[in-house]
Structure formats: C-alpha cells, structure tokens
Structure 1
Amino acid sequence: MTDPISPFAKPIAVPPKSRAALLKRLADVVCLPASRINAFERAMCADLLVEMLREAVVEEREKVARRLANLSDMPGSLVRLLLRDEVMVARALLENSPNLSDADLIDCLYHASQEHRRLIAIRRGVGEVVADALVDMGETSVVEALLRNELARFSHQGVENVVAMTRDNPGLIPLLLKRAELRPSHAYVMFWWADADARRTILQRFAVSREILQEAVGDVFAVASEEGWQDPLSRKALQFIERRQRNRAAIAKSPFDSLEDAVAAAQSGLTRETAEEISYLAGLKPMTGAKIFTDQGGEPIAILCKATGLPRAAVRALWRGLRRPETDAEGALSPGLERVLGVFDAIAVDRAQTVLRYWNWSLSSALTPALLKAIRDGDTDAIDEYSVPQRAAMLALSRDFGR
C-alpha cells in the first residue's frame, strides 16, 4: 500500500537483481547524449524510470540520483521526483548537480524537508528567486546557511524579510551585516534591536556623510525658500540633506533658551515634557525622541548629542536624567555609559546627523493615521511596499505600540 504522503510505494523486502540491472540501464539511456537519443525518447525512458523508482528501495533511488547528477538536461518529472525524495537521495542532486533550475529548486523547497532547504541554501550561486523563497519559509537555520553562502544573491525584498526575522533571531544580525546587499535603510532600522557589537558595526559601516548630496542640491535650498517651502516632498528631502540639525524656530516657542538649557534641566529627571522640548529643539519629532530616550542600550543618546553639537557632558546629563547608573560598585564608570561615550567620541558630526535624520525621516515622516493604525494592528498589507519610511516605521515601532 502506498504511503499517502510519499510518491514511493513500500518496497518488497529483497528486490530482485533484475530490477537493479534495469534501473541502471534505464538511467544510462536517460544520460545518453543528444546525438544518440532525441527528446521524446529520453522523456519516454524517464517516464518508465519514474514508475520503477516509486517501487524501488531508497538505496536504488540514491544510485540513480548519483548517476543523473551531472546530466545537463534532466527530464522534469524525474528530477522533481528525486528532489522530493528522502534527504540521502535528494542530496546526490542538491550537492552535485549544477544544472537544477530555479523552478526545480523552488518545487523542492516547498514540498520537502527543512534539511532539503538547508542543502539548497548552501548550493553554489543560489539566485534571488530561490533565496527569497527560502527566506519566506522563516526557518532560522536555513536562512543562516543562506547568509553564510557568499555566492548566494538576495533581492532587496529578501534582505528586508531577513531584517524582520532578526528581531526574534538576533544571531542572524552579524551574518546579515556582512552581506553586500544590505543597505542603510535596512541597517538603521535593525539598529534598534541589535546588540552593542552590531550597533558599532552599523555605525562604522553605514553612518555615511551627506556631503555629496549637499553639494548636488546646494542651490535648491534658495529656490525652495523663495517658494516658501510649499512643496512637502521637496521640504522633507531637503530637511534630510541640510547641514543644520537644530530647529531654530522651535526656540521661540520653547520654555528653554536653548537646547543646552533643556538638557541641563533634564539632569534632575527627564520628564515627558522636557523630552518633547529636547526633540523639538533638536529638529526631531517627539516620536523619534521617545524612541531615542527609551532605547535600552543608550547609543542613540550619543548620536543625538553629537549630531546637534552638544558637548560630551550632555551625554552624561541625559544619562543621569534617565536614572541610569553612572558608576559601578567600585566607583568606576559604568560599562553602559562608557560604551555610549565611546560612540560619541568615535562618530563624526555629519555622520551622526545622517543617522539621526534617517531615524526621524523613517519613524515620523510617513506616519499617517492609516499607517499608525496599520502599525498598531500589525497589518503589513497596508504598508506601501515602495516606501522605505513606512516599512522602517512598521519594523521599528510595531512592538512599541503593544507595550
């Protein structure tokens, strides 16, 4: 009786010698060059071989798979049967056959086991379509193998899906950071849940200068100013590019004379009102400021201070205002504060501004009422797939609304 979940029948205990000989001969015929056999004859032989393999023992099927591994034009029904077979059979093709099509591999990964998918992930030259399908399965060990495969290629969407996976699988972050396909939009949003080492790597690799952008559009600022900054699209883009970080207009409405005064006031305890004022004065939306001040690692505080031209002491002032320990039991600087001060010392002002501007742009510029509802509901279908800010906001803020 045939197993309902397997295309193979239960074999007899002792297969006759004639079967082994016939399987070998049929495999030999299928492997004949095109000069000896035409496509119809090959297909007819493959159909017969498929029927025999369904009754064969696993060792016989493995021998046939090994025989066919180097065949450049393997009949579709035969290759799919063998790829869906047990791992020891499929392995012969997955490890040794360079001629499997993306369609064959995708059929295999959707109809076989996790070990099959891992073997696909480590194949030489895995293409974007296959890589995306493997990532969609959501299996950490398979994605890890895929990230380690230097010859695999990821699409932009595939990388975004891996970034989303890293929230619950932080072990993938160091591997993803080594991929050439990773872009600043991916890295900056992943920063929020990355550990200290990964954050350091992100800042070193992706905290880039905006100098080339500033040179390219320098004259456009005057044009936009003459028009009264009426175009919202131009205004948002130019706000990201401009050199000035602080919001001078916010000082007139603030109870504080300067950003420095607001930070000094925060030392005795950072209230929601003071945090919002610091955000406005720093040229940030309150939601971005809230994300920075509630971050457990603290590195965003260093980015905020460096980007706005605040001194090193401002980092300690905000740290103190958040009631975080400044020293350890021996009176030495606490490891957390020491790490954050190290970030402040290591990053240049312009690069810190790039990171801060990106956070503010991605976490607030796209936050329409509809997007806020989608984030609260976890409705990814409501997100514009072409909007980098919307996708970043969904990833970075979705769990914050659940607290």
Structure 2
Amino acid sequence: MSIPAVSSDADAPQASKARQTLLRRLADVVCLPASRINAFERAVTGDLLVDLLRLASVEERRRVAMRLAPLAELPNSLVRLLLRDEPTVAGPLIEQCASLTDVDLIGCARDAGIEHRLLIAERRGLSEVVTETLLSFGEDSVIEAVLKNASARLAQVAIEGVVALSRQSRGLCAPLLKRPELRPSGAYVMFWWCGPDERRTVLQRFAVSREVLQDSVEDLFAMAAAEGWSDPVTRKALQFIERRQRNRAAIDKSPYNGLEDAVAAASRGVTREIVGEIGYLSGIKPLTAAKIMGDAGGEALAILCKATGLSRLDLQTLWRAMRRPELTADGEVHPDWERVQITYEMLAVDRAQTVLRYWNWSLSSALTPALLRAIREGDEELIDEYSAPERAAMLALADNFGR
C-alpha cells in the first residue's frame, strides 16, 4: 500500500487516531530490551518519535514520558526534547528515570525554567556538579530544595556560596545548618545574621572543644617562646589553641586593674575606649569586641563573658551598660535577656572560647590591607579563595563599612 504525500482535511481525524497509535507503538519499540533491539535501531526509532512528539498534545507527551521513565537506556534526542518540555511532561523523567546523566540534568537546568530546577533539586542522589549548577542561579526556592534534599551532595565551594547568600536570604539559614557539609567556619560567620533558633543550633552543633588540639601541640608553646614568638603564623595558630583566654600582659598597660574592673567602668557609660580595653583584656582585638558589643541578639555578649570567665553578674552589668531591656512592660523577663542567660549557662568555657577565638581570628587576623579594601569596595576578587578567615571577615564586617 502506497502512502499519499499530502492528506486531505477529511482525513485529519483518522490521521490523529493513527498518530496516537503510532506514538504508542514507537514508544513500545524504544522500550524493547537490548535482546530485541540494538542501540542504532533504538536511536532511529527515537528520532521518529521526536518528530511525532513535537506535534503531539501535552497529555500525549506526558504519557510517553511516563512510559519511558523506567528505562535504563533512552535515545539522547528523546531525552533532550522531553526534559525541556512542560514540567508535567519532564517531571516523570526527572523524578523516576535513573538513566539520566549529570549532563542531561545540567542541560535541563540551564535550558529550562525554575519549575524544572525545582524538580531536579528534589531528585535523589544529585552529584556535586549538578547541585552547583542549581545553586548558581541564586533562586532561593531551588537552593532551599537542594539543601533539604538529604541525598544530594554539595561541594564545599557551593556550601560557602550559600553561606554568603544566607546573609540576604535568612530563610536559607535553618536548612543550611542541617547540611553535613557545613563546617564550623561557615557556621560561626552565619551566627551574626542567624535568628535565635539558628544561633542555638550553631552553638550546640559547632561550638567544639579544642582539647585534642591542645594535647597535640602542648610542647610547642615552650618551643615557640624559646624562638621569641618570631613566626607570626605559628603565634596566631597557638593563640587560637591555647587554654588561657585573658591577656595578662594587657593588664600592665591598662588603666583598669582587670577585666572585671573594666566591666564595672562600662556601667558608668560605654565608650569606644572602654570597649577597646575590654577587648584587650579579653585577649581579642577591639574590632572583635565592638562587633560583639553591638550584636543585636545579645548571645555574642554571653559567649564573651563565658569564654573569659566573667560571672553572671558581670554579664548583667554589661547588658545594662548597653541599655538592653531586662523586663517587658508586663514585668516579665524580657525574651532577649532570658535567651542571653540561657546561652551563658548552656556553653562550656572551652567551647565558648573556640567560638570567640574564631571570631577574633577571622575578624582581625585576616584584615590585610587588600581585605580592608575589598570590604569597603565590595570586591570579592581580592579575597583569597582558600582563606577561611578572609571570607568570614568579608561577610561579617561588610555592614560595618557601609555596604
């Protein structure tokens, strides 16, 4: 039987029915096992099916996609077409087709819309290259879906990028803190813009002890002292590790008899000079002390007091000196003050010191002239991509420089 070159309008209904049947038959052929059809035959059949699908209805395309989703091998041309189709068509393949490669998913993410990226973000077993592509679009809903996907894998560079984004998109903080890839360096810098619940998570999960570090380098303190602390890199690292928090040498140069005396002086009025002295006596830089004293949530103040051995009464003195409320209008304990007291009680001294010292390390030791210029100008190209303190300082201090 010969096939006419052009069909008449009268033949359209019959052709439509024939097309539907042909779609099903060609899909059946593509689904045949390798013992019945070789790769070349499958590819040719896929090409024919692609041409038919271009003119098929959305429902017909969806049915074909559902029929093909369980296959272990699919013609590439067919995959490209269906993955870029309507979300209802692409969805079954994205969700169920195990044979999709990273190249297929990345191509779909780049060429299709946010609905497709959301579907991909929820797919099981996403690799680092796929998640990095999804995160690169900066879409909060997609990023949150990736973070909530427990089977997805994220590279460290991608996690660091999300940490930076979370500063503007606070809704990312909670799911980000649940990721196993997040490291203390990222959590400590996120602390500055996290809400109360997320801050508690940071302190409970990431305020680690330095006991193992201290035991492993105990003999190096005498060695470095014998060298006159001439190596600045070694000095900074050992300052981070050592058990003692307060700077005893600062007492000799201070107008105050000790840290408690400086805290008492603050109750008579907080000045830049007093904040600087509290910082010096606490073993941190004035910039770090200013950041802590200006923290809106107040938990950072509790960490400072616990790390330096200040009492609850000293904490209350500083709280009052900063003119922070202790009681509500109804005479109840103010939620902020209650939360700060709980933070003080829940943290062990060593763990509080770890957080405080990381802040000091990142907010002061990393502040090279190039980094200061980068913070002022917002030029991230000047930041060392391998330096955790520089990245932390860039994120934490940007607001202090009027960005």
Q: TM-score, with normalisation over the residues of structure 2?
A: 0.93
Q: Displacement, 1:324? A: 1.5
1:181 aligns with 2:188: no
Structure-2 separation of matches of 1:13 and 1:142: 43
Q: Which residue of 2 aligns with 1:336?
A: 336
Q: Which residue of 2 aligns with 1:56?
A: 56
Residue 205 of structure 1 aligns with an amino acid whose one-letter code is R
Q: Which residue of 1 aligns with 2:353?
A: 353
Q: Displacement, 1:332? A: 4.1
1:36 aligns with 2:36: yes
Q: Displacement, 1:88? A: 0.9
Residue 27 of structure 1 aligns with an amino acid whose one-letter code is A
Q: Which residue of 1 aligns with 2:170?
A: 170
Q: Which residue of 2 aligns with 1:18?
A: 18
Q: Displacement, 1:48? A: 2.3
Q: Deviation per CA, 1:23-51, whole angstroms, max 9, x where unpaired?
A: 22222222222222222222222222222
Q: Deviation per CA, 1:305-355, whole angstroms, max 9, x where unpaired?
A: 111111111111111111222333344433222211111111111111000
Q: CA RMSD in A?
A: 1.7
How many correspondences in the alignment?
A: 392
Q: Which residue of 2 aligns with 1:83?
A: 83
Structure 2 counterparts to residues 114-263 of structure 1, below 5 A: 114-263=114-263
Q: Deviation per CA, 1:134-190, whole angstroms, max 9, x where unpaired?
A: 112111112222222221122112222222222222222222222222211111111
Which segments of 5 or more consecutive residues in structure 1 lack a partner in the other structure? 1-11
Q: Which residue of 1 aligns with 2:104?
A: 104
Structure-1 separation of matches of 2:391 and 2:191: 14
Q: Displacement, 1:14? A: 9.4
Q: Displacement, 1:267? A: 0.7
Structure-2 separation of matches of 1:198 and 1:205: 10
Q: Deviation per CA, 1:344-375, whole angstroms, max 9, x where unpaired?
A: 11111111100000111111111111111111
Segment drifting more, 256-265 vs 52-61? 52-61
Q: Which residue of 2 aligns with 1:276?
A: 276
Q: Deviation per CA, 1:80-124, whole angstroms, max 9, x where unpaired?
A: 111110011101201221221111111111111211111111111
Q: What is the DSSP-based 3-state SS (H/G/I as helix, E as strand, rest coil) of the residue aligned with 1:367? A: coil
Residue 216 of structure 2 aligns with an amino acid whose one-letter code is A
Contact 1:126/1:151, CA 8 A, preserved across alignment:
yes
Identity %: 64
Q: What is the DSSP-based 3-state SS (H/G/I as helix, E as strand, rest coil) of the residue aligned with 2:182? A: coil
Q: Deviation per CA, 1:219-259, whole angstroms, max 9, x where unpaired?
A: 11111111111111111111110001111222222211211
Q: Deviation per CA, 1:38-83, whole angstroms, max 9, x where unpaired?
A: 2222222222222222222222211221121112121222111111
Q: Displacement, 1:127? A: 1.7
Q: What is the DSSP-based 3-state SS (H/G/I as helix, E as strand, rest coil) of the residue aligned with 1:28? A: helix
Aligned CA distance change for structure 1 residues 279 and 273 (closer, same or farther; 3 Å):
same
Q: Which residue of 2 aligns with 1:73?
A: 73
Q: TM-score, with normalisation over the residues of structure 1?
A: 0.93
Contact 1:268/1:320, CA 8 A, preserved across alignment:
no
Residue 141 of structure 1 aligns with an amino acid whose one-letter code is S
Q: Which residue of 2 aligns with 1:299?
A: 299
Structure-2 separation of matches of 1:88 and 1:332: 54
Aligned CA distance change for structure 1 residues 168 and 15 (closer, same or farther; 3 Å):
farther
Structure-2 separation of matches of 1:196 and 1:180: 21
Structure-1 separation of matches of 2:49 and 2:382: 49
Q: Which residue of 2 aligns with 1:3?
A: none
Contact 1:209/1:350, CA 8 A, preserved across alignment:
yes
Residue 307 of structure 2 aligns with an amino acid whose one-letter code is A
Structure-1 separation of matches of 2:321 and 2:173: 31
Structure-2 separation of matches of 1:15 and 1:331: 81
Q: Which residue of 2 aligns with 1:289?
A: 289
Aligned CA distance change for structure 1 residues 14 and 260 (closer, same or farther; 3 Å):
farther
Structure-2 separation of matches of 1:307 and 1:141: 38
